[in-house]
Amino acid sequence: MTSITAPEHRPVKELLRAGACVLWLIYSAATLLGNELILNIFSPLTALFSSILIVTSLKDLGAFRYTGMFFFVGVFSWFISDLLLILYTYFFIDDPILTAISDQLYLLPNYMIFISAIAYSYTVLKKGDFYRVIVDTFGIAYTIYVIIINVFMSDIDIDASTDLSTLSLMMYFLAALFVLTLLAMISLETNQSRHNGKFFIIAVIVFIYELLEVRYTYYMTLELDPENIYLDIIYLGAIMIISLLLSSIKTEAQKPADFGKFPIYHFKPMQKAYMWINGALISLIGVVLFAMSFITSTELYGMFIVALAYIVVQKNMESEDLYTALLDLQKNENARLEQLVREKTQELQYVNDYLEKTSNIDALTGLYNRRYFGFYEKTIFSSSNRNKAAVFSIDLNYFKPINDNYGHDVGDYTLKEISKRLYSIFPECCTLFRMGGDEFLLVYDQSADISSDFNEKVIGIANRICTETDKQIIMKRENADDLTLTISASIGIALYPEHSTDVDEILRAADSAMYETKHKFIGSSFKIYEKNSEA
């Protein structure tokens, strides 16, 4: 629904509103008092102020700016017509050219109202609904037109020899009937409460205006003088009020394509029957009028053509509705498939991440495994890495007796407990791996701890490993006494790049130092690899 807010306070616009009202009141008073000079002066001034008021408000009308634009053209044409009236009344007395131009320009507001009504309908209705309402309107308006022309204006004989002025008058009459019918159709087929109240008032004023135009046409066909200075007060007042209403509306500047379209209330189950009934009704009216000698065979064929065209257009709209429904269905299905693909992709990504994680993580301890070390070593021990690093090869002592005497559950518990302790050793700069069985590998990367002295840090880490592994492991059991386990670690240390820049050589050096301390010491101990100590 259109968002309506109060327009900003603009002194110029307020002056124009007040001016248009005052000028119209003076014009009305002069008309009632019979002062021709004053009414001839104030009529164009009222139209001028009204047209300026509309054109200065177009940017505030948003999606309805085209409706306002066509109104402006109609009101401005009234102003030009009044100027020409002054010229041929007071300066160029009864000039036939000016008189003809002025008379035609006075008809232009009605045509502009006709276009404005269509523009408003196009803005507020969906595309398919708009065409359907326009077709309904034309079918009904044309049928009423034929009935009135042949029953109430039977003196007019429209054929190939009919003069241009009569044809122009009939077109003018049809345009007025079309606007009246369109306003009625929009009111009947849409929820009136959704239309802005000011637009609804404009519609009422336009309806009155078009009724006066029907009267004008009727008098012209009877060759009576349709001019009535008192009715001109209503004509000009309608124009002035419409300008006031349009200038007081401010909508969000939306494109028509983004506008919240109003639904029309066609009875969907009866829509096909509705189409055929209307087409048959138009044809039947034509046959009845022909049988009563109100219309000629040519006009009867014309009504048949209108009925056929009505059905063809409605069928086309029906096909377009079906196409739109299928297109929407396809879009929804595509959206559903895209969502399904996204979900499956996320699931696949989750599975891949899980597989990647499980392939790089030891299932028992949650530490990185030997496979991941293969990726990790390329980062730490690369030619581009000029920082120092230390590799700690850790092998648990007395683990096999624990596993053999107490079972694999106790052995697994021991490995997990040791893993937790080792992982707590400077995790910000150390990376721990379980290489298999009771073998662990810890890598210290100085690049993550550049503030510390490298050698002191290596010794500190080794001592922490010894401290953590020497602590007794207490395993609580539900149906038995707590189990106290004692274990230790043999640690071999190799330094990068001091001992080697080759990963395999560093691992062999760390293992060599680890085996050496394993055979020489009881309890947790460590040794830094020495090249001259190799056998």
Residue 90 in contact with residue 125, Cβ under 8 Å?
no
Rounded Cα distance, 248 and 120, in Å: 17
Rounded Cα distance, 525 and 516, in Å: 10
Averaged over 239-262, what is the pLDDT?
A: 66
DSSP state of 69: H
Residue 516 has pLDDT above 50, yes or no: yes
- For residue 444, the model assigns a pLDDT of 93
- For residue 261, the model assigns a pLDDT of 58
Q: How many CB atoms lie within 10 A of CB 317?
A: 19
Residue 191 has pLDDT above 70, yes or no: no
Mean pLDDT comparison of 2-6, 342-346, 395-399, highest-scoring range: 395-399
Residue 497 has pLDDT above 60, yes or no: yes
Q: Confidence band (pLDDT; 50, 70, 90) for 158?
A: low
pLDDT digits (tens, 9 = 90+) for 100-155: 787 788 888 889 999 999 998 888 887 777 887 888 888 888 888 888 877 766 65
Residue 44 has pLDDT above 60, yes or no: yes
Q: Confidence band (pLDDT; 50, 70, 90) for 466?
A: very high
Q: Which of 15-19, 86-90, 124-128 has the lowest mean pLDDT?
A: 124-128
Q: Exactly one of 82, 395, 438, 445 is catalytic; which is it?
A: 438
Residue 493 has pLDDT above 70, yes or no: yes
The one-letter amino acid at 398: Y
Rounded Cα distance, 409 and 365, in Å: 13
Residue 253 has pLDDT above 50, yes or no: no
- For residue 8, the model assigns a pLDDT of 47
- For residue 13, the model assigns a pLDDT of 83
Q: Confidence band (pLDDT; 50, 70, 90) for 156?
A: low
Using CB atoms within 10 Å of the CB of residue 8, give its burial: 0 to 12 exposed, 13 to 18 middle, 19+ buried.
Answer: exposed
Rounded Cα distance, 133 and 193, in Å: 19
Give the residue from 396, 465, 395, 457 showing the smallest Cα distance to 425: 465
Mean pLDDT comparison of 231-240, 303-312, 519-528, highest-scoring range: 231-240
Q: Confidence band (pLDDT; 50, 70, 90) for 161?
A: very low
Domains and CATH numbers, the chain: 11-265 (1.20.1070), 370-533 (3.30.70.270)
Residue 463 in contact with residue 471, Cβ under 8 Å?
no
- For residue 2, the model assigns a pLDDT of 42
For tokens 């160029």, name the residue.
92
pLDDT digits (tens, 9 = 90+) for 384-411: 666 789 999 999 998 999 988 988 899 9
Residue 236 in contact with residue 27, Cβ under 8 Å?
yes
DSSP state of 525: E
Give the pair of three-digit tokens for residue 144.
């009423």
Residue 293 has pLDDT above 60, yes or no: yes
DSSP state of 487: -
Tell me whether the omega of the peptide bond preceding residue 226 falls within 30 degrees of 0, making it cis. Answer: no
Q: Confidence band (pLDDT; 50, 70, 90) for 415?
A: very high
For tokens 């030619």, name the residue.
383
Q: How many CB atoms lie within 10 A of CB 175?
A: 21
Work out the mean pLDDT of the chain and round it to a whole number.
82
Rounded Cα distance, 194 and 201, in Å: 13
pTM of the model: 0.56
For tokens 């010491």, name the residue.
521
Give the residue from 139, 243, 229 showing the smallest Cα distance to 185: 139
- The reply to whether 438 belongs to the active site is yes
Helix boundaries (H) for 361-407: 370-380, 399-406
| Cβ-count burial 28-49 (b if 16+ within 10 Å, e if not) | bebbeeeeeeebbbbbbbbbbb
Rounded Cα distance, 110 and 112, in Å: 5
Give the pair of three-digit tokens for residue 110.
């009605």
Q: Which of 269-273, 363-367, 483-487 has the lowest mean pLDDT?
A: 269-273
- For residue 103, the model assigns a pLDDT of 76
Rounded Cα distance, 507 and 181, in Å: 95
Rounded Cα distance, 406 and 473, in Å: 14
